[in-house]
Amino acid sequence: MPKRRHLCWSGDDPIQGRWSLAHGEGVAAHQHAQGQLLYAASGLLATTTERGTWVAPADRISWTPPSFEHGHRAYGETEISILEVPAELCSALPATPTVFTVSALLRAAALKLTGGAALRPEVGDRLLRVLVDELTELPEQAVYLPEPADDRLRAVTGLLRGNPAETATLGELGRTVGASERTLSRLFRVELGMSFSQWRSQLRIQHALVYLGEGHSVTDTALRCGWANPTSFIETFSAILGQTPGSYQTELRRQAAATR
């Protein structure tokens, strides 16, 4: 069974293995000398940096490069396998945090490396190299929410974070914070690399993942997060996650049963 504790470590602590985090547990900002992969077998794990937040739903794997300051928070009972990646293997992976889909081979390798069984060093090394090679072939699937620096943009995104179901237009929000719609639209594109609509959709999807993990229905989740109807929510969720909210909840239940 995984160990259970409130994770708190420095970059030099030996942490490879399986762990369990309760809902709301987290890890304060820190960094590692090596790269780090976290496979979430169940629950949902958010990784936050000064650049923004990446969310890994169940059966995804999060990547954080060496010396990249970050923190974590779990939503729902979250079982994670933690793998340390030596610096010489990190160049094959992205230079910023991200989230990957998980193939059967990757899942098996991650669980084998963190299962507690003694592996000969050369066996563990070969298996880790296979895992890294597999990641380079898999698509990234990050529910990523970039963090703005401009004060006007921060004011707008702060209002939306406080109420993801807010339906105000960018022009209406701009009048509230004292900035024109044209200026804010440009800032979203230039500073965050996405439109206002895309940013708000990513924010709502992050909240939707939490609500679905807590067992709320698809309809209830859609309304809580600001979609006008379940159909538009399902379409947006499927476009970003590659599966419907219903199939995501089914996957959550299957993974939770497998970890018991």
Question: Each residue of 113-130: pLDDT tens digit?
Answer: 988 777 888 888 999 999
Overall size of the chain counted in residues = 260
pLDDT digits (tens, 9 = 90+) for 56-104: 888 889 999 999 999 999 888 888 889 999 999 999 999 989 999 888 8
DSSP annotation of 17 reads E
What does the DSSP assignment read for 175-231? HHHT--HHHHHHHIIIIISS-HHHHHHHHHHHHHHHHHHTT--HHHHHHHTT-SSHH
What are the residues whose beta carbons fall under 8 Å from the beta carbon of 132, sequence distance 6 or more? 85, 89, 92, 93
Residue among 122, 54, 105, 65 nearest 89 (CA): 65
Query: Euclidean distance between the first and final Cα of the chain, in Å?
Result: 9
Q: What is the pTM of this model?
A: 0.80
pLDDT at residue 3, as a whole number: 46
Per-residue pLDDT, 70: 92
Handedness of CA 238, 241, 245, 250 (dihedral sign): positive
Contact between residue 75 and residue 33 where contact means Cβ atoms under 8 Å apart = no
* SS3 per-residue string spanning 79-115: EEEEEEECHHHHCCCCCCCEEECCCHHHHHHHHHHCC
